[in-house]
Structure 1
Amino acid sequence: MQAPDSPRDDSPQVPAGRFAQQRPQRVRVQAPQDASLSVTYQPPEHTAEEFYVRQLIRSQLRLACAVAAGLLILLVGICALLVFWPVLSTIRLVSIPLPWWVLGIGMYPLIIVAGMLFNRAAARNERRYRSISRD
């Protein structure tokens, strides 16, 4: 049996020289044979229920942003139409200019329709969530 410090016969011979003396001795590091690997159980960070609730919140937020963006685009479009087509500003109904009628009265039905569509879509998202959460 060989001494632990003596080189093995099957190890490659290192050429003698300036760099060979600077190279550190290789050391094999290993765990003791009687060491056991202990892995502690960690529950998952999020449960499936929390995941689906987050998905519901995201879908509701996405829906709200889409409805708000749609109403904003519609309002800006109507304003741009009235600004870039000045003939509409000369039209009067009951001595009130048409742009006032459109923006003052015409926008309310659009807001109500958008609210009804939002409510229907939000209810549909919640029904989908409930059907998933029951399973």
Structure 2
Amino acid sequence: MHSPDAGQQRRPPEPPGRFAQQRPQRVRVQAPQDASLAPPNQRPEHTAEEFYVRQLIRSQLRLACAVAAGLLALLVGICSLLVLWPVVSNIQLFSIPLPWWVLGVGMYPLIIVAGMLYNRAAARNERRYRSISRG
């Protein structure tokens, strides 16, 4: 039932030298026998068409940001003009103050004109892209 050395604990054998525990075990790494040294035939990372599409997207984004910044500057300019020139607030048309007319009604034609100009410039960018991609 009891083994003769049951009361004694077994100790693992100690490695020779005090740095033997710190040394990592060596592992041999080899390439498979059928591995070739030539890289596989792959497409180039970026084709000319992808380059031109990215350029088109960037130009459309620049155009959109320019139109948005222009409209924002115009809106801020009109608002600051109305705030800095308080006499305008006293002018009324059909019992509605002039700043309400300017901001509520006058901005819409400016937005429509900006949209039409944006649309024309975006179409011009796309025509330019098509002429490059076909040629």
Note whether the superposition's TM-score is higher than 0.5: yes
- TM-score normalised by length of structure 2: 0.70
The Cα of 1:44 is off from its aligned counterpart by 1.7
Specify the alignment match of 1:64 in structure 2. 64
Specify the alignment match of 1:80 in structure 2. 80
The Cα of 1:41 is off from its aligned counterpart by 5.0
Specify the alignment match of 2:20 in structure 1. none
Q: 1:114, 1:96 → 2: CA distance?
A: 27
Question: C-alpha offsets along residues 87-133 of structure 1, whole Å, 9 cap, x if unaligned?
Answer: 00000001000000000000000000000000000000000000000
Aligned partner letter, 1:130: R
Confirm or deny that 1:105 pairs with 2:93: no
Q: 1:86, 1:132 → 2: CA distance?
A: 54
Specify the alignment match of 1:55 in structure 2. 55
Q: 1:67, 1:43 → 2: CA distance?
A: 38
Aligned partner letter, 1:122: A
Question: C-alpha offsets along residues 18-68 of structure 1, whole Å, 9 cap, x if unaligned?
Answer: xxxxxxxxxxxxxxxxxxx85665532100000000000000000000000
Q: How many residues are treated as equivalent by the alignment? A: 100
Q: 1:98, 1:62 → 2: CA distance?
A: 34
Unmatched segments (≥5 aa) in structure 2: 1-36
Q: 1:55, 1:71 → 2: CA distance?
A: 24
Specify the alignment match of 1:21 in structure 2. none
Provide the aligned C-alpha RMSD in A: 1.4
Q: 1:126, 1:116 → 2: CA distance?
A: 15
> SS state of the match for residue 44, structure 2?
coil
Q: List structure 1 runs of 4+ shifted beyond 6 angstroms.
A: none
- TM-score normalised by length of structure 1: 0.70
Aligned partner letter, 2:60: Q
Q: 1:101, 1:128 → 2: CA distance?
A: 40
Aligned-residue sequence identity (percent) comes to 85
Q: 1:44, 1:71 → 2: CA distance?
A: 42
